[in-house]
Copies of this chain bind each other. A is one copy, B any other.
Amino acid sequence: MSVVRHSVKRGAYHDSVVLMQLQRKLGELDGVEQVGVVMATPANLALLAESGLRVEKAEARSDDLLIAVQAKTAAAARDALARFDELAASRRSAAAVDYRPKSLATAFVQQADAQWVLVSVPGEYAAAVARQALDGGRHVFLYSDNVSIEDEVALKQRATERGLMVLGPDCGTALVGGVGLGFANRVRRGPVGVVAASGTGLQMIACRVHARGSGISHGIGTGGRDLSREVAGRTALQALRALAADPETGVIVLVSKPPHPEVVARLLAAAASLGKPVVVHFQGEGQAGRRLGPLHFAADLEDAADLAVDLTKRTEEPFETDFVGALRGLFSGGTLASEALLRLEPLLPEISSNLDGPSWSGVFEFADVTGHAILDLGADQFTLGRPHPMIDPRLVVDHLAHCATDAEVGTVMLDVVLGDGAHPDPASIFAPAIKAALESRKGDFAVVAVIVGTDEDPQEVARQRAEIEAAGALVVESLGEALETAVRRALPAPDVSAGVDAGALVRPAAAINVGVELFRDSLADQGVAALQVDWRPPAGGNDRLAGILARLRQSE
């Protein structure tokens, strides 16, 4: 019959990795069956109880350290508890070889060249430490989780004002100028820059880029919530702009766990205007196709890495956007309409369509359509009692004529479907209508026609194409090309406001670590001067006092 004994150390703080090491050492002692060494939070007490280490009446507070031992005999349990102080002290004396500042303020003086502060203290204290770091003019790698979203937004606003970056909270990994922060694989430096709201995503991509013989310029973790509606991709936007300005980066990868659709649109619009190819992998999101201008959509992490490496070997055409006017798609093919809608929605979430259902049912009026819209003119509501527009395209050209009279519209996309069953000579209908539409406007209007046909179709595709081109339309053979042109004319010109200090992406010569010592060790291993702050919960963990201190600091 085994026994459980425990002891409480008032106000003793160690990071969770150190506690794990101490716990493991105690567990190796003779006669010891199970050990728990934890900060005595209610959650941890519950976890201990669950694994059979129920501690009755521990009378410990959250800022106390609790050591609980289950052993074969009471003597073995007592021995183990007695050994704890000795083991902790031996760790401490080894660490005390270098002097450790007790505050960030002192650390800033002692390691004045540190561009980065790594923060991995418990979540409730993390925002205050991060704010201090920003106020000291340092970028922040914020590993801690359980930071409120309000704190995250406030920190990121503060950072942006100062040209600084906050990677996190809950940021597991980053590679800055070749130096890994947090969890990071060692990879060759190279032309691929990564922005990731996803820790192991960044690691997996970096490893695969390395395995394929290429390398990483910088890998910027943003924290998993950066692409939420509230945080609105603040860090991701900064990171994209920083990588766009970085001469070492040739191709950018943007990867995220499922992001908010509004943030998707904002980031894609920014990404399309960077002047560099961007590989996008938004988990679980509909894709804007395989490619749209400089945006290349990956289906998984490996695919993202492979696309990026392939793109480093290619030269891409420049892509410039400038809003000309609303976009209208007038399709006779239902699949083309739905595909156009699905591929445009990530970039133009406000786009409307009769494919969206109820709100469009009933009698259709040209005048009801405003803004960007995709119409499936082969839908029942348009074909009731008349032939399909592939047979009789007059419905399409009527709409085209209407669009030309609407000053809001800048671009019309339409499809010309050839083959058996279709109109014997669509160009005879389309060409004059396109010519008339273009002539009625002063150059602020364009028609893009997708031809679906082959050189064996009875309509003679070459003649169809020539006649429609002669009328002034841009004729393409894939929906992708049509959408690329359409997006170029529907997205606003890029926002070129500066986001971040150029120094953010320099290899850090020095860094300050507040929290998990393991991260300091790994910085040192990588040749970075890394100063560990001997951090303790403020006011000995007394929340009320800590709150007062924080408010005092804020009002300074």
A186 touches B480 (CB 8 A): no
Which of B44, B50, B391, B519 interacts with A17 by CB under 8 Å? B391
A432-469: which have CB < 8 Å to B? 452-454, 456-458
Contact with B along A42-55 (1 / 0, CB 8 A): 01101100100000
Of all chain B residues, the one with the shortest Cβ separation from A48 is B385
Say whether A247 faces chain B, with CB atoms less than 8 Å apart: no
Contact of A420 among B184, B207, B385, B480 (CB under 8 A): B184
Total interface residues on A, CB under 8 Å, equals: 94
A contacts, CB < 8 Å to B? 16-17, 20, 38-39, 41, 43-44, 46-47, 50, 145-146, 172-173, 180, 182-188, 198-201, 203-204, 206-208, 210-211, 224, 255, 257-258, 283-287, 289-290, 297-303, 331-336, 338-339, 342-343, 363, 380, 384-388, 390-392, 415, 417-422, 452-454, 456-458, 477-480, 518-519, 522, 525-526
- Assembled-state Cα–Cα distance A338/B258 (Å): 9
Question: With A and B bound together, what is the CA distance between A276 and B257 in angstroms?
Answer: 32
Chain B residues, Cβ within 8 Å of A146? 380
Which chain B residues lie closer than 8 Å to A290 at the CB level?
A: 298-300, 302-303
Cα distance, A198 to B336, chains bound together (Å): 9
Q: Is the CB of B419 within 8 A of A185?
A: yes
A420 touches B387 (CB 8 A): no
Q: Are B204 and A479 in contact (CB under 8 A)?
A: yes
Q: List 19 A-B contacts (CB under 8 A).
A: A17-B391, A17-B392, A44-B384, A47-B386, A183-B417, A185-B452, A185-B457, A186-B419, A187-B456, A200-B335, A200-B417, A201-B335, A203-B417, A204-B335, A210-B456, A211-B454, A224-B334, A290-B299, A290-B302
The 4 closest A-B CB pairs, nearest first, are A200-B333, A289-B300, A420-B522, A185-B419
Chain B contacts for A391, CB-based, 8 A = 17, 20, 518
The reply to whether B386 and A20 form a contact with Cβ atoms under 8 Å apart is yes
